[in-house]
Amino acid sequence: MTEDSEALGEFDRIARFFAPLAKDAPGAFGLTDDAAALPPLAEGQEWVVTVDALVSAVHFLPDDPPELVARKALRVNLSDLAAMGAVPYGYTLALALPKDMAEPQRWLAAFSRGLAADQAEFGIHLLGGDSVSTPGPVTLSITAFGRGPRDGVLRRSGAAPGQDVWVSGTIGDGALGLRVAQGLLSGRFADLADRYRLPAPRVTLGPRLAGLATAALDVSDGLVQDAGHIATHSGCRLVIEAPLVPISASVADLVSDDPDLFAEVLTGGDDYELLFTAAPEAADAIEAAGREAGVSVTRIGRVQSGAGVEVLDHHGAPLDGLTARGWRHF
């Protein structure tokens, strides 16, 4: 059923837009073969693999610039690799474009420019792909490959009572940035909208946490819910002190105008920061890892026996409202 004139377009598209993205990965064979080969690993490494799918009008807006769609799609995958402590190497791409798309060449040119920009920024390569047409919206799926420490990748399941809870960067920029992008908050905070559109995966920090962090993930669903994932899979309780949660100057401005937004900071998604736990003795090494990676790291709480997540205000009282907002699977 794929035997139509569109197939001619596929060979051209691959040669023009995608083969240049694969030229520096010897095992991609210029995208001319049925599959790609991953290079040999150094001693003590293993391949780490993650996949994310994005659909237009669900995960991005139909009129979002294709460059940004490409870069965000890559970055959410790189964030997953970072959360496992892996150094990104490359990715495969499955792309479905609407049959009736206006100017698909222009869209593809911009999309592949976005991929090229982030390939250069993160030192990764396109390894293979499939390009098809769809009667539906633009849909893309990226499978990303990284090199992690053999038998030592970071998991969600290693947190234990007595350990500290840490987070990288600042929290809430993604969630409030989405509101700015939607025109629901002042355009003065365009920096937050940019942060929402183009997250910064913590690829330099994640690999440095291998051997230090006991559990880790990237904050994509929201700080409170993602803390819940660690609690669930580690079989313990995470206590977060809200006043310790790091926020940017723009988020601080917005929250001081409308304190109700703070709940959104703690439960909104799309931060792509690393949330992790570690023994108290690792604190100095974690601070050093953050300095080397050029990413701030902040201790925001502790692990206790029990289950679930508790968020405490500056009096040490539980912020109960959050569980109703951020909580989905308890």
Footprint on residues 146-205 left by its own copies (CB under 8 A): 146, 148, 150, 153, 155-157, 178
The string over 247-276, giving b where at least 16 C-beta atoms fall within 10 Å of a residue's C-beta and e elsewhere, is bbebbeebbeeeeebbbbbbbbbbbbbbbb
The owner of tokens 């840490």 is 166
The owner of tokens 């690393």 is 274
Whether residue 271 is annotated as binding a ligand: the answer is no
38 in contact with its own copies (CB under 8 A)? yes
Whether residue 195 is annotated as binding a ligand: the answer is no
Binding mask 57-96 for its own copies (x = CB under 8 A): xxxx-------------------xx-xx-x-----xxxxx
Whether residue 220 is annotated as binding a ligand: the answer is yes
Q: Which is nearer to its own copies, 13 or 237 (CB)?
A: 13
Q: How far is CA 249 from CA 10, 140, 168, 256, 268, in A?
A: 47, 34, 16, 10, 17
Q: Which is nearer to its own copies, 59 or 299 (CB)?
A: 59
Residue type, 25: A
d(CA 101, CA 3): 20
The owner of tokens 């880790």 is 216
Binding mask 219-238 for its own copies (x = CB under 8 A): --xx----------x-----
244 in contact with its own copies (CB under 8 A)? no
d(CA 281, CA 62): 48
Q: Which is nearer to its own copies, 84 or 209 (CB)?
A: 84
Q: Which is nearer to its own copies, 118 or 221 (CB)?
A: 221
DSSP state of 246: -
Contacts of 9 (CB under 8 A, 6+ apart): none
Q: Which listed residue (47, 123, 249, 305) binds its own copies by CB under 8 A?
A: 47
Q: Which is nearer to its own copies, 105 or 256 (CB)?
A: 105
Binding mask 10-29 for its own copies (x = CB under 8 A): -x---------------x-x
Q: Which listed residue (67, 218, 271, 273) binds its own copies by CB under 8 A?
A: 218
Whether residue 133 is annotated as binding a ligand: the answer is no
Q: Could you say which residues in the range 106-145 bind its own copies, by CB under 8 A? A: 127-137, 139, 141, 143, 145
Q: Which listed residue (19, 20, 54, 312) binds its own copies by CB under 8 A?
A: 54
Token pair in block for residue 266: 């703690």
Whether residue 218 is annotated as binding a ligand: the answer is yes
Pairing label, strands 125-134, 87-98? parallel
Pairing label, strands 237-241, 308-312? parallel
Are the beta carbons of 74 and 138 closer than 8 angstroms?
no
Enumerate the known binding-site residues for ATP: 129-130, 156, 220
